[in-house]
Structure 1
């Protein structure tokens, strides 16, 4: 009797445990159902975005196929498609899309070039995420308050309802007006067309810091150690001088002033310092360009876009001399984005403007006056730059790619010479140089035939003799008369 009772109790206990386990398995599936606030369409899009990708009716697909192609192209370049897919999979989004004209013609070319540089990818991503709100805000639910964006910064939303204006001009996002409210409506988001690009404060500060050139990061901040010429040992740093005390000038420095006080050659292995401080000299000439004005683009490329400033400092430290043909800002502005976007293009362009000689305006002008045309070697081997006299100045290059020397001797310190020119010099392409190199190969046959004719020409006396012999019919006997 006891065994059947125990078996029945055990069976009842297993039934209760199975029911509890079934409830536990079905309970976690409830949050994945569509919410009542978002609607069936929004819930389905969110579930599909989180589980198996973006639906064809998604707001992201509409953005890629809409009239805002420039913004969609920037999103692809910034590698933000996956980030936006995750945002759409979690909640509805609101996208503020600038018109194509605002990104093509109205945007500052220098700022656009800053955004498209690979090193500034973070700034481009922050700029684009500043145009996306993690909430659905149609025109009929437009708030008058600051709203957080996916970039982490807030954007001001305002409306001027009740002022007698239309809906398209009453809605504003930051400093931009909403020109096409509710341009695209989808279950998982909405797109509003705005008149201009929104620039967050962080991106603007990065751009200003990039352009300020207050700190030259490519040049070593410390100078080379100095050697005492009497002991041939490193000089110890001078002891600190109390405030208000007269300056302490060593006796040796007072007896032998340096190049900055009296005329002296540049420091080198044969001088007292036994070194070339090339980094300091490069830093001085870049700062001179900034103070001179009109050469900020060249200084920017030397320091921030390339590592040429460090390479120039290394060359000068090893004893080399350089002459830099510096294009001004107007000349650099005529360069296209394609000419600077290729890998290594800025370096190749600037290498063609560096001559491994120390030349001043006077030395180059005297050379072209005397020889007519002078070809200088450049650091972009094997290309050379041609100089000739033109209009009382020195002209570099040929044809449309020529440049005049109009800012002579901007910086000269015995090792580095900077000469300002009014255009960017570009070496001739290989396709253009091929016909010119092949042309001299076709000239020798004509020259050889002319020489043969000159050797076969007879003198006047021999010609008169041959005419007299011809009268008697004996001309054919003489080989010289044939």
Structure 2
């Protein structure tokens, strides 16, 4: 009887679980065959990329993507990941706490569609990746195919029924990953330094007084123009800027970060070349940031820089003066500048090119800088923002207005013309000889 009751209870329990089991959604497991594009990637000569995919734990997610649609993989060559990549950036990607950044970086190289070389767009075309990052596919006038700033070296290198792999020249770094790397590195540097107050300036003698208890990261006491290095039209700096023996910020590293961001962003190679190669402004900006100053750079794109003539750049100190006029000694973002021009109409920002100022105003829903033919619009907002340096892309080169002569005023001045009279000066040479001869003559008459 006991056995019969137990068997009835088990039967009723199974009958109770049967509808629950039928209500559960069926678990689908994607079967990847040996001819899949994922297997081809793991067995290909792109060993560095395959190793990063395994470390990022992306195999299951990529299997699901392949099961739903074809994919296109842009695989960097091994040299781009071994030698060309910054060792500190690679160390950042391999840290366990930065797993999400590594996954975003790798999924930015994969498109959820199949794009072979014969389907490459002849002009600019945007595609979203698995990380929702937008890639720019273009074809240069020379016929070379590019994706963002990377050139396609081996188109259709690996072809499978569910996808294709293109070999590219360099690694594509999304903007979000670059910002995470810069933010993490800057926070680590700041936390490792003992807070130290900035010195105080005596207004009577313009000399530094005893250190005052100022919070770490406070703005410097000296104006930025006193900390500038002597330039073509600048007087020598009266004293170095504040900051003490240990700077709170690594300005050289931050300037290097924003120049690399310009290169990865694309379209601002000329600006980066002027800062690094033609001038020493990158070093100067790094020193200013290390001493606690903040900067906003209005960066003209390559199309705008190409319109500059040789005469404008050939004069001594001309590139420095042009860039000085594009640097604002304040920290401004696209939002702050747009809100300011919407509220006040016209805003005049100081520049490092004294005494010229750049005028900003609202136009067509954006911020317009300058006036006349040398005006420019805010084209690429917030290319780089780290709290110390802000880079805003513009579509033109700003030139300061010509200084007007002070004697030219609105009311004409009557000028009385005086006739020019030629005054003949009396001869003064030979006076001593004439006096001696007269004395001798008078002496001869007396003797006679």
Bin of the TM-score, shorter chain as denominator length: 0.3 to 0.5
Q: Of the two, which has the highest radius of gyration?
A: 1
More helix by share: 1
